[in-house]
Amino acid sequence: MFQRAPELSKQYVWMARTHVVRQFLVAIWFLLFAAATPALAHPHVWVTIKSELIYAPDGSITAIHHAWSFDDMFSVYATQGIEHKTNGAFTREELASLADTNVTSLKEYDYFNYARIDGKKRKDVFSDPVDYWLDFKDSVLTLHFTLPLKTPVRAQNLEIDIYDPEFFIDFSFADENSPVTAANAPAQCALTTVRPNDVSSASSQRLNKSFQPPSEAFAGMGSRFANKILVKCP
């Protein structure tokens, strides 16, 4: 599901599960390439995020549990061809193979999670996901997975940014008061979230003045639309 077509940028089409889905996304790309319209500056897959920080008894963060819900159009295409007993519904077992493919492929893209600890960017913070599964409800496919930290973190300032660097995928926190929660967090630590700003008209104009291949036009663009989880402790 997350394998990208070889002719596309490495940061493109991370979720193409089947030949049908790949054909669909590649067709979109070629239509945009031919038209060279302003639509190129916008994402084509939307993911809604709910997350929970997991704390150990000593107050360190040990993992993040994510629930990523895909837009309904992508959800329908992603589940095409999967055998299921009930029309319009899938069990966790029926989606297990698809969940395996999703999680395996996420590693190549750093799970779209980027950590900053006490002001410093850190790489290789996360281990491979565990306790993962997919569900399908109201025509929406949701990937649940727990992302352990390789080493538990106790820091005055922890920032987790969630985004696709090429902005092909638009991640956004769920539209509710607490899209991110904390399990067993120390009382003195404060958890806040920051949502990305809307694309400015000036940025869109700059992107659309001249057409470039996605690897050049969108390199690093996604960080402007990062969803931030911020934890501040004394």
Residue 14 falls inside a structural domain: no
- Count up the domains in the chain and report the number: 1
Residue 99 falls inside a structural domain: yes
What is the rounded average pLDDT for all residues in the chain? 78
Region of 139 please: left (phi>0), alpha (psi -120 to 50) or beta.
left
Task: Tell me the pLDDT tens digit for each residue of 89-130.
Answer: 899 999 999 999 988 888 888 899 999 999 999 988 999 999
Residue 13 falls inside a structural domain: no
Residue 11 falls inside a structural domain: no
Q: Is the pLDDT of residue 177 over 50?
A: yes
Q: Is the pLDDT of residue 30 over 60?
A: no
Residue 12 falls inside a structural domain: no
Range of the domain at 220: 19-232
- Measured distance CA(43)–CA(103) in Å, rounded: 21
Task: Tell me the pLDDT tens digit for each residue of 183-196.
Answer: 999 999 999 999 98
The alpha carbon torsion through 91, 94, 98, 103 (nearest 10 deg) reads: 60
Output phi, psi for 78, to 5 deg.
-65, -30
- Number of residues in the chain: 234
The whole-model pTM stands at 0.74
Q: Is the pLDDT of residue 208 over 60?
A: no
**pLDDT for position 40:** 46
Helix, strand, coil shares of the chain, percent, nearest 5, are 25, 35, 40
Residue 55 falls inside a structural domain: yes
Residue 7 falls inside a structural domain: no
